[in-house]
Structure 1
Amino acid sequence: MQTANGPVPVGGTYDYPDDGRRGGLRYALVVPVPAAGDFDECWADIWPADTDLTQLLFTTALPARHPSSQTELSQLNTTMGTSLDPSEAVRSRATRFSALAGAGLGIIIGSCGAFTRRLEMSSALHSGVSRRALTHMLLIESGVWLTLAGIVSLAVGVLAARNLGDELRTTLALSSIQIVVAVVLGGLAGTCLAFAAIRENQLFRYFKIR
């Protein structure tokens, strides 16, 4: 790039999205200089949020050379607010009940899966098969298809998160595991509850309904 002092090589360009951030750097020329002397601004990039950051930034300020000068703090992008409480954000997130909802869904699916076989189960009880043996059989069968469904769901979650950052991938993986485990346990519980409601003496009524 030609300047009044001669040509200046350009090392590269940078993206500066129009997402609400301060626009002063959109057309700025950034020139690296030695970290010595005084500067107009001190920038900090921190994660996770730290309430002590404000006080730490004030330690970089030099005594005022003019009575009218003062130190100002600002945020590069205030679109999402000027403060962050991670604990409150986690407690109030929309997906905080995902595992509970998954358990409820599992109970419904497991109950439906077992109760649709009420004629078969009642007939087995009438033939002398013990309730304990039938419970074990239902739990094994339900556990197999619930586990397979959970594995497929986890695979879908992993594929969906493959382009995310490491932290987001880990978070999504942990959340997916919690939901899958809740669904599987809920499905097994629903199977037991539905089977507990099946009675041998209702065999003929089940047959008529069928």
Structure 2
Amino acid sequence: MKNIFTSLLLILLLSNKLLAQEWDIDKTENGSITVKSRVFNQENDGKKSQIVQYEASTIADVDISQLLKVIKDASKHKYFSEDTEESKKLRDLPNGEWLVYYLVDAPFPIPNNDLIVKMSMIEGVDEVSLYGTAVPDMYKMEDVKRMTYYNISYEIKKIEDGKSELITKVSMTPVTKAPDFLVKTWLPDGPSDIVKNIIIEAKKVNLD
């Protein structure tokens, strides 16, 4: 009986874990943007953390060079990152990396917070990938909470006829845990708006 109970418990725990990790898939902007997202809790060293993940992708009538200029320019990130009051490049780092600062004027109940991200870039044939990860100890503390877990990537691929594919992926832990259902109200429109606004900014870029 004990073995049966243990087996059932393990199956239940595994099922709950798999269920928590399932992706929601939505189409926005009349089907032009695809957003995959999920919110779940993960335990590390006895401490539970809320994980918010999303992937937003689209194909747009914009040149890959225009997208790259916008994403590499940290000062423009506040124009497409929701509630971001300030975004700026702090300094260049070795090996072609660079450090970026964000100040977020977050809506209630999340307190204002900042984020320090180390960025890197990999270029291929007709495609570019930029990667960022939180490095909370690489810049002085301000009078706000600091996000400590944050990973982001931007993948840009050249498509024929002057079009480009843009995919952005994020995995993060908010500075304050809000109920999962409340976080999910930001999905999928939040990530969709980010992608949409990147494209709007990219179309303003003059390549001449």
Normalised-by-shorter TM-score class: under 0.3
Give the number of the structure whose residues are more often strand, by fraction: 2
TM-score computed with the length of structure 2 as normaliser: 0.23
TM-score computed with the length of structure 1 as normaliser: 0.23
Structure with more contact order per residue of length (Cα contacts < 8 Å, sep ≥ 6): 1
Give the number of the structure whose residues are more often helix, by fraction: 1
Structure index of larger Rg: 1
